[in-house]
Structure 1
Amino acid sequence: MHRRQFITFAAASLAAGVAGSYLPLASARRRAAHAGAEAPLDAAAYRATRRYAALPFGRIAYLERGHGRAALFLHGAPLNGFQWRGAIDHLSPYRRCIAPDFMGLGYSEVPAAQSLAAGDQAAMLAALLDSLRVDQVDIVASDSGGAVAQLFLLRHPKRVRSLLLTNCDVEPDSPPPKIQPVLDMARAGTLADATAEWLTDKPKARATFGAAVFADPSGFADETIEYYVTPLVSTPLRRAQYHAFHLALTPNPLAGIEAQLKRSRVPVRIVWGAADDIFDQGDAEYLDRTFSNSQGIRRVPRAKLFFQEEFPEVIAEESRRLWGV
């Protein structure tokens, strides 16, 4: 595939770094500050607050903010926990919010031999919660993080109080066809180089992939691009693991789980970006009819794959409704 074609096509498929100075996010942060919450999480604050857990899987990066019952926020690819900063600003008065970086993405540091498959990511999350002495969580998930959330639910059903799923993998659509060019580049070993270009040509990043995953790509701030991309391309090992993360998306990690999901009684709410064309709009209905305790679907007009950054108040509203707080 021609390099220019990749930049355009990857716009529609890469879960690329987003957001920053969206007006809804800014107003939400002002409201949170006015309500006496902790200082809003920009890139500098998030970096300063980041913690690490030494686990058998490696040194896992995570953010923790708030008190009370725990909520676990699972990001998409190639993002990291920073994806959820706006929602955490809203929800930390009600929950102990925990946002880890998956192995192979973000600031987590894992050995070269560590598997990055979705099942191993779920096992890492269980170990992280053990280390934090957390027995049970409300999960909020996006994109490939939604696949990990479903596997975690099946492996640890008693540890999940509720599940809020935004646009994400489902068994019949994992991985979605539109990310095939990205998988091809990962297999060829060229994905990290192409992603690194976002650091030196941020307007192109906004005009291409940003336009595919946000309603307003102009809000994809420079500091946000840097926070997402820098760790992915920082060393030869991290570049290799960035490729390995994507290659681990195949074969379908959710194959054969539908019958088990149907037996789950965990309350599930589906919040779906109505303008996303990476995950099929029918995937929301699939989740709604598969989970026996589905609380229904909310479609967010104009919202694309990573609307969670642009409209964190929607995530907060739906989370609080699901949690009953």
Structure 2
Amino acid sequence: MLSGTDHLAPLRGLYPFQTRRLAVPGGTISYVDEGSGPPVLMVHGNPTWSFYYRHLIAALSPTHRVIVPDHMGCGLSDKPQTYAYTLQNHLGNLTRLMEHLDLGPLDLVVHDWGGAIGMGWATRFADQVRRIVVLNTAAFLSPRLPFRIAVCRYPIFGDLAVRGLNGFAGAATVMAVERPMSPEVRQGYLFPYNSWANRVAIQRFVRDIPMSPRHPTWAVVDGIDRDLVNVRDKPMQIFWGGKDWCFSDYFLAGWLERFPAAAVVRFDDAGHYVLEDAHEAIVPRVVRFFGEARPQ
């Protein structure tokens, strides 16, 4: 477990936020709870953590209460070695956090695995959702899995590459962006994943990608997809990195098929970590969107 001021001292310049903890079955999760006002929930993916949203947290917290959980095994949350790191459990943990905080209607931001986790919660509690921002993610099944991710699922090789050599989180700091990260930002992304044990969830997230109906998470994602209709009337803005080799324009088309009224801004020169490559353009747009009169 990584927590406390002493542990976070190297990151305070980039990540100066207040964090809290919540006990859930199997461990304790950390979450940012910053600012006051209308609530905003941001849900990250793999192999990121709440650090990914730091620009949005800083911009929104003067006028909003911003909640950003670290999934079990990620960021500053516990990293139990025998935990079942499945979409169903991540969704359950997010639901427990929302019940604990009792925020009322909120705005939602999702990225990567946060699409399935965040939209899974949203479709079950549609009356608690006001607006949605989508950042290079999916909440529906796909037959597509890039080779460089598929190889991380291979027995033995995947363990050695992802957990031994940090070949997933480390590679993402280069492959997921078009604008090179500074050493300080790269350190921030990798800070929680500094050992074989602390990289357990990164590997389990990769293995939880459902590629056939035999996979237990297949039915969960399929159910979320079918329930997206529950939030189809919510105002949505999509900010898309056009050079994302994982969540490509195939997935953007999938969102527009399900949410044809969504407003889209595609950044031709941004990658999967679209908030890294294009935060100067995205952050003010999100601030304006969430600052609009609340939808009735």
Unaligned runs of 5+ in 1: 1-41, 199-204
| Correspondence 1:181 to 2:181 | no
Aligned to 2:7: none
CA separation in 2, counterparts of 1:165 and 1:234?
A: 31
Structure 2 counterpart of 1:67: 36
Q: Is 301-310 or 226-235 further displaced after alignment?
A: 226-235
Q: Is the 8 A contact 2:73 2:79 kept in 1?
A: yes
Q: C-alpha root-mean-square deviation of aligned residues, in Å?
A: 2.8
Equivalent of residue 134 in structure 2, options 165, 182, 195: 165
TM-score when scaled to structure 2?
Answer: 0.80
Residue 202 of structure 2 is aligned to residue 242 of structure 1: yes
Q: Secondary structure at 1:104's aligned position in 2?
A: coil
Q: Residue 183 of structure 1 aligns to which amino acid in structure 2?
A: R
Residue of structure 2 equivalent to 1:287: 255
- TM-score normalised per structure 1: 0.74
1:231 aligned counterpart, secondary structure: coil
Distance 1:285 1:318, change over 3 A: farther
1:195 alignment partner, one of 166, 183, 186: 166
Match of 1:142? 111
The answer on 1:216 being equivalent to 2:179 is: yes
For the residues of structure 1 that align with 2:291 and 2:168, how far apart are their CA atoms? 44
Displacement, 1:108?
0.6
* Residue 171 (structure 1) shift: 1.6
- Contact (CA 8 Å) 1:143, 1:169: kept in 2 or not? yes
Distance 2:116 2:94 in 1: 13
Tell me how far apart the structure 2 counterparts of residues 268 and 136 of structure 1 sit (CA, whole Å): 15
- 2:70 corresponds to: 101
* 1:317 partnered with 2:287: no
Paired residue type of 1:291 = F
Q: Any conservation in 1 of the 2:138–2:255 contact (CA below 8 Å)?
A: no
Alignment of 1:22-41 (within 5 A): none
Report what 1:86 is aligned to.
55
Q: Which has the higher contact order (CA 8 A, sep 6+)?
A: 1
Q: CA deviation at 1:193?
A: 1.1
CA distance in 1, matches of 2:138, 2:267: 18
Report the more deviating stretch, 85-94 or 183-192.
Answer: 183-192
Question: Runs (4+) of structure 1 moved beyond 6 Å?
Answer: none
Give, in whole Å, the separation in 1 of the partners of 2:64 and 2:155: 39
SS of 1:102's equivalent in the other structure is: coil
Residues 27-76 of structure 1 show CA distances to partners (whole Å, capped at 9, x for unaligned) of: xxxxxxxxxxxxxxx92152673332233352111112121111111112
Asked if 1:227 corresponds to 2:194, the answer is no
Residues paired across the two proteins, number: 273
Does residue 304 of structure 1 match 2:271? yes
1:68/1:193 Cα in 2 relative to 1: closer, same or farther (>3 Å)? same
* Aligned residue identity for 1:94: T
Residues 134/185 of structure 1: CA separation in 2 closer, same or farther (3 Å cut): farther
- Asked whether the 8 Å contact 2:271–2:277 carries over to 1, the reply is no
- Structure 2 distance, partners of 1:244, 1:258, is 22
Q: Secondary structure at the match of 1:232?
A: coil
* Distance in 2 separating the partners of 1:186 and 1:116: 18
